[in-house]
Amino acid sequence: MTDKNVLDEIMQGVLLDLVSRQVPINDLKQQIDSAPKLRGAKQSLAKAGTSLIAEIKRSSPSKGQLSQISDPVALAKSYERGGADLISVLTEERRFGGKIADLIAVRDAIKIPVLRKDFILTEFQVYESRILGADLILLIVAALSDAQLRDLYQLSTELGMDVLVEVHDEEEAQRAIDLKAEIIGINSRNLKTLEVSDLNFERIFPHLPKDVIKVAESGIATRAQVEFVESLGADAILVGESLVKSGDPEQSIKELLNR
């Protein structure tokens, strides 16, 4: 590892890429009224039984290229047929191979809510997400100060979007609780070191408020792992790598959910 952690490097790249897309916030505000109607991500995650967020993910900093995914729409449709409750679309390009065009195309082709999976650091990105039709956005506690987290969360909810607040240790979990986040994701992968540990689930899940929707993220590939996080109180799972590498993602989802 260099002096800079992986998360810092990703964030720097995200901010650089924003320069070419940046327009005045007032221009974005004028587009909000014509933005796609939201589909209610929180309701999908709060249903009875374990919900599944299926991710369209070409590559990652820890594993490199996972799948070419030349047709993200076809993959999203297979996820939907398999019983996924939401589709997560990576839009960070440098390290994850994501594309904003994927989000637009996928949302147009399916009926279930869509999560914009990116590193949201600015007000511009929140407005942009709403205009693109994101029903749910990701705020990573490790990437934001308390003031940034509060401001971006408040803006997101004011625009009608739901927010997945991601944590990977007890201190971050407390910050999410203090924020009164309604959906908290526990990532078993430390974004600063890329190490994965299921201990994150064991340490954090039992301490989250009962009324919070709890999402287990990263490293979930088997039915046994799903049952493990369910036993800890998970309401939903987010699965990417094992699905994009599966020869039959539709069947893989059914097996994960025991359907």
Give the pLDDT score at 247: 83
Catalytic residue among 44, 117, 200, 246: 117
166 catalytically annotated: yes
Give the pLDDT score at 6: 87
118-172 pLDDT, tens per residue? 999 999 999 999 999 999 999 999 999 999 999 999 999 999 999 999 999 999 9
Question: In the predicted model, what is the mean pLDDT of the chain?
Answer: 92
55 catalytically annotated: yes
217 catalytically annotated: yes
Give the pLDDT score at 239: 94
Q: What is the mean pLDDT of residues 245-257?
A: 92
Concatenated DSSP letters for 51-83? EEEEEE-SEETTTEE----S-HHHHHHHHHHHT
Catalytic residue among 78, 218, 242, 246: 218
Dihedral pair phi/psi, residue 252, rounded to 5°: -60, -40
pLDDT surpassing 50 at residue 3: no
Question: Rg of the chain's alpha carbons, rounded to an integer?
Answer: 17
Alpha helices in the chain (DSSP H): 6-21, 25-29, 41-45, 72-82, 100-109, 123-132, 146-158, 170-178, 199-204, 223-232, 241-244, 249-257
Q: How much of the chain exceeds pLDDT 70, in percent? A: 97
| Domain annotation for the chain: domains and CATH numbers | 6-21+43-257 (3.20.20.70)
Catalytic residue among 55, 172, 241, 250: 55
Q: How much of the chain exceeds pLDDT 90, in percent? A: 80
Give the pLDDT score at 70: 82
pLDDT surpassing 70 at residue 4: no
Catalytic residue among 166, 172, 182, 250: 166
pLDDT surpassing 60 at residue 43: yes
190 catalytically annotated: no
Rounded CA-CA distance 15/33 in Å is: 26
User: Taking a C-beta distance cutoff of 8 angstroms, is the pair 66, 60 a contact?
Assistant: yes
The whole model's pTM is what? Answer: 0.94
Q: What is the mean pLDDT of residues 213-223?
A: 93
Counting every residue written for the chain, the total comes to: 259
User: Taking a C-beta distance cutoff of 8 angstroms, is the pair 130, 161 a contact?
Assistant: yes
Catalytic residue among 51, 57, 88, 200: 57
Q: What is the mean pLDDT of residues 194-199?
A: 82
Give the pLDDT score at 244: 83
Rounded CA-CA distance 187/237 in Å is: 10
Catalytic residue among 92, 128, 172, 217: 217
Q: What is the mean pLDDT of residues 21-39?
A: 94
**Between 242 and 125, the higher pLDDT residue:** 125
Give the pLDDT score at 123: 97
